[in-house]
Structure 1
Amino acid sequence: MTYEFERKQRLAILGGGPGGFEAALSGAQLGADVTLVERVGVGGSAVITDVVPSKTLIATAEATNAIGEAADLGVQFFTRGENGRPVRPQIAVNLKAVNDRLLRLARQQSEDMRAQLTRARVRIVQGEGRLDGPSRIVVSTGHGRGATTFDEIEADTVVVSVGARPRELDTAKPDGQRILTWTQLYTLDTVPEHLIVVGSGVTGAEFASAYTALGSHVTLISSRDQVLPGEDADAARVIEDVFTRNGMDVLELARAATVERTADGVVAALTDGRRIEGSHCLMAVGSIPNTEGIGLEEAGIQLTATGHVRVNRVARTSVPNVYAAGDCSDFLPLASVASMQGRTAVFHAMGDAVTPIELRNVTSNIFTQPEIATVGWTQKQIEDGIAQGEIYKMPLASNPRAKMMGIRDGFVKIFARTGSGTVIGGVIVAPKASELVFPLALAVEHRLTVDQVARAFTVYPSLSGSIADAARAMHIVN
């Protein structure tokens, strides 16, 4: 008598960022034989040099702002001077301690994720990986005295999740000391006296906001007529007003031609002839996918003109058994999207139930102060006739809890389908908007109407009450 045993499906993942991590966990959950190849550490750049450290820095900046604004709520900080009279102390930021903490938290998060994979029986291979055809990954690892060994991993399904890196310009080459990318900021020991930020997209705006709160004088160079181009115009206007009110110099319709290091700082030369001198410069001019030289095109995988991997809504590439997740794909570059792509890819590859990713349901957040959270269709798409909807905007300053907290800036905006009142999108500008937007995300995902949202009880007083109030104002008369 002979027995036949079904072989476990072999899953190989190249890159251990949010997409690769979730793909590995999902594969292990479904019983696959999973191998994860990672170059720098589990969590990838998102955990080690990007999302985790940057949002930790921003949390410190928020604490600094809270202390500075406490006087508006009647809380005052004083010490006694030599003459016994009260002296108001200055807020001091120990940037070295801040950076040491955030890097420690990033390492700990990476180690926690690695331990989670180990418990799930995922094999982790440290090294440089590349595809050798659509069903094999070759990994080079260094072992003792510079020797290089190669590990070949055969797979039935491959998930590519190699992420992206900061884009660098030849005319403004980062040196890691004065001219910096966002991955290099954490080497600074002191708060920059004058930080020039080139690029007013999400990354540039977030760091400009944070370093202003930490005590830097910030000059933000924007090549467009507003900060955060492509975002909700009302939201961008609020953020720019806050920036300028807090002392930031915002240069619109300005483009940096070169950034050069001087004896004690940097100078940015603009294309209109102006020269901006500062102590440091952050280059926030986009990112480049880490897809070159790893055998993708040789394996038959289609890339875009920018080097991103073309994927469909289940993260599948042009090669049936190869999937891609995260910033290396041509989908939305968010950690949450990468995680969803990783799970979706593995579920699809292994025949489990899967719901194709709908980009319009993705919730995103910009961690400025205040934050901007968005979901669903945009106001511009409604105004351009791409989507049919009604728009209602409620200032946050009218909310009782906001008044108690001294919040002056922000709003809740809801978009509802004309006729049916189905919620199709929304924007929230508020402190912790990332936490407030979830009800709108649920409404968009499950096609709730404004009346259904309004019928849910909210705490009084609460900032979330503004969501119910805005929904109530859009009541559909039957």
Structure 2
Amino acid sequence: MAFDCDLFVIGAGSGGVRAARVAAGHGAKVVVAEAFRVGGTCVIRGCVPKKLLVYASRFADDFAAAAGFGWTVEPPRFDWPTLVDAKNGEIARLSAAYRAGLDQAGAALIEERATVVDRHTLRLSGGRTISARHILVATGARPEPPARFPGLEFAITSNEIFDLPAFPRRLLVVGGGYIAVEFACLFAKLGAEVTQVMRADNVLRGFDEDMRAGLRDELGRAGVRLRFGALPTRFERRGEALLATLSDGGALTVDQALVATGRRPNTAGLGLEAAGVALDAAGAVAVDDRSTSNVASIHAVGDVTNRINLTPVAIREGQALADHLFGGGKGVVDHRDVASAVFATPEIGAVGLTEAEAQQCFEAVDVYLANFRPMKATLGGGAERTIMKLVVDAGSDRVVGVHILAREAAEMIQVAAIAIKMGATKADFDATMALHPTAAEELVTMKAPTRRHRRAAS
């Protein structure tokens, strides 16, 4: 059977663009359909704009610390529209770079919505149909609001918060995950009065408990008002403001309410069910270890599969799939020991097992913990803490988890991830000479275990 193209990619985000470029490099005829903007969530309304806002928020601490180092700083003034304009300029540059990459690789870009008709056919929103030997779904995920309640339409999500016309002086953040934590922290540091509410009794479910407790304390020091065990039950417009009624009986008036309670795979309305593609309970495309669905010609990578929802993972999956389909590669991505970060201030960097997870895996676990005041705070002032943690399988001496709460923790955890991936032992860490004075030297100078766990005899 003759096809119009070898690979049709739905979605021009990080994973889809990488797959398209690699496939085209192998000589495949590639078509990419994107109905919004080239670049996907990461570039347009995710990792990149968020990190730019995080950078902006940290100047407040730098200005405050400067006097301790001999600087005289005029009272600083923050201008939200200036930041938004600068952010938009950088996003436009990156989106253009993605476009150029597709063009240089020889992949055709169609700026229309595409839906699946059957295992080899797609329909564009303009009415045209295209046949493809292989179809790749790389549509990412979208914010998932909580159960509907009166006035929810007045709230915003992480899609809209980057382009608010005015800075929210009073902000309610709903949720306790990494997106909620990051926005609560950065807006507090930019000068907003932030209240964060969540159903749980602490932030960042699934992260190591010492990191959760440490960041909870840092959010409080940043000025975020944390209310656990509470969620909004109603939003009401009061002029330009918003009255939020909470499940714990409280109420507060804010300028904006950000709902950040999770994300859902973007599969609705794509026609996948009609083509016979299996979706899981969350609506994600169910795929095998080569990113192929139960329909052999339809594949998926990135957040739409709900495996590990991180941009580098989507990129690696897209490349592996293209190499497999058109270059003879194996197509299998190793999803073990993937490093992650939470870009609050300070940051959390994590790779490998948490302390609790390790206890479920090994007969004995040694935990090494350092908690100290960072050097910059000695002159700059402030009560910020740095926490570093190694989780070790006592039987093999292998370091199975590294967790860091610190400024630039993400930069440190990327390097630590290499050691974890290579199977480094605690003895390997100990044998590594410390670089002084740095925060990271603590990773190689912790000697005696802080805690030791042994699995109870059955």
Structure 2 Cα separation of the partners of residues 376 and 355 of structure 1: 23
- CA distance, structure 2, for counterparts of residue 460 and residue 405 of structure 1: 19
Higher relative contact order (CA 8 A, sep 6+): 2
Q: Give the Cα separation in 1 of the matches to 2:363 and 2:11.
A: 37
The offset of 1:202, in angstroms, is: 0.8
Q: Which residue of 1 aligns with 2:49?
A: 53
Distance 1:205 1:240, change over 3 A: same
Residue 83 of structure 1 is matched in structure 2 by: none
For 1:251 and 1:438, the matched residues in 2 are separated by 32
Q: Look up the match of 1:216.
A: 192
2:149 — aligned with what?
Answer: 171
SS of residue in 2 equivalent to 1:183: coil
Are positions 1:42 and 2:38 aligned together? Answer: yes
Query: Are 1:125 and 2:110 matched, yes or no?
Result: yes
The structural deviation recorded for 1:303 is 0.4
What displacement does 1:462 show? 2.2
- Residue number in structure 2 paired with 1:75: 71
- Please tell me whether the aligned partners of residues 191 and 215 of structure 1 are also in contact (alpha carbons under 8 angstroms): no
Amino acid corresponding to residue 68 of structure 1 in structure 2: A
Q: Give the match for residue 102 of structure 1.
A: 87
Q: Which stretch shifts more, 237-246 or 214-223?
A: 237-246
Task: Report the residue type matching 2:300 in the other structure.
Answer: A
2:203 is the alignment partner of 1:227: yes
Which position in structure 2 is the counterpart of 1:428? 404
Per the TM alignment, residue 403 of structure 1 is displaced from its structure 2 partner at its CA by: 5.5
Distance 1:168 1:29, change over 3 A: same
- Deviation at 1:230? 2.1
Q: Which moved more, 1:53-62 or 1:308-317?
A: 308-317
Q: How does 1:342-357 map to 2 (within 5 A)?
A: 342-350=318-326, 352-354=328-330, 356-357=332-333
Q: What amino acid is aligned across from residue 161 of structure 1 in structure 2?
A: A
The 1:358–1:77 alpha-carbon spacing in structure 2 relative to 1, beyond 3 Å, is same
Partner Cα distance (1:185, 1:158) in 2: 33
The within-5 A match list for 1:154-169 is 154-169=131-146
**Residue in 2 aligned with 1:292?**
268
Residue 32 of structure 2 contacts residue 107 of structure 2 at CA under 8 Å; is this kept in 1?
yes
Contact 1:401 1:461 in 2 (8 A): no
Alpha-carbon contact 1:316-1:322 (below 8 Å) kept? yes
Cα distance between partner residues in 2 of 1:22 and 1:285: 29
Contact 1:321 1:349 in 2 (8 A): no
Is the contact made by 1:402 and 1:463 (CA closer than 8 Å) also made in structure 2? Answer: no
TM-score normalised to structure 1 length: 0.87
Cα distance, 1:97 vs. partner?
Answer: 0.8
* CA displacement 1:244-303 (0-9 Å, x = unmatched): 123221001112212222213111111222112212111112222220111111112110
The alpha-carbon deviation at position 44 of structure 1 amounts to 1.5
Counterpart CA distance in 1 for 2:152 and 2:253 is 16
Q: Partner of 2:455 in structure 1?
A: none
1:80-113 CA-to-partner distances (Å, cap 9, x unmatched) read: xxxxxxxxx2x32100111111122112111111
Are 1:191 and 2:167 an aligned pair? yes
TM-superposed deviation, 1:38: 1.1
CA distance in 1, matches of 2:23, 2:89: 29
Structure 1 CA distance, aligned partners of 2:275 and 2:362?
Answer: 38
How far apart, CA to CA, are the structure 1 residues paired with 2:427 and 2:216? Answer: 33
Residues 1:111 and 2:80 are matched in the alignment:
no
Amino acid aligned to 1:208: A
Q: Percent identity?
A: 28
The answer to whether the aligner puts 1:247 opposite 2:244 as a matched pair is no
Change (3 A) 1:172 1:334: farther
Give the equivalent residue in structure 1 for 2:428: 452
Cα pair 2:323 2:331 within 8 Å, conserved: no
Alignment correspondent of 1:144: none
Contact 1:8 1:32 in 2 (8 A): no
CA drift of 1:388 comes to: 5.5
State the 1:447 CA deviation.
1.3
Q: 1:262–1:116: structure 2 CA closer, same or farther, 3 Å change rule?
A: same
1:92 aligned to 2:92?
Answer: no
Instruction: Measure, in 1, the Cα distance between the counterparts of 2:421 and 2:14.
Output: 22
Q: Which amino acid aligns with 1:154?
A: S
- Aligned position for 1:18: 14
CA offset digits 1:225-259 (Å, max 9, x no partner) = 11122221111111111121232210011122122
- Name the SS of the counterpart of 1:272 in structure 2: coil
Task: Indicate how the Cα distance of structure 1 residues 374 and 109 shifts in structure 2: closer, same or farther if over 3 A, else same.
Answer: same
Can you list the C-alpha shifts for 1:107-126, whole angstroms capped at 9, x where unaligned?
Answer: 21111111112111111111
Q: Which amino acid aligns with 1:228?
A: L
Residue ranges of structure 2 left out of the alignment (5+ in a row): 450-458
| More off after superposition, 362-371 vs 413-422 | 413-422
Aligned length in residues: 446
Contact 2:390–2:399, Cα closer than 8 Å, also in 1:
yes
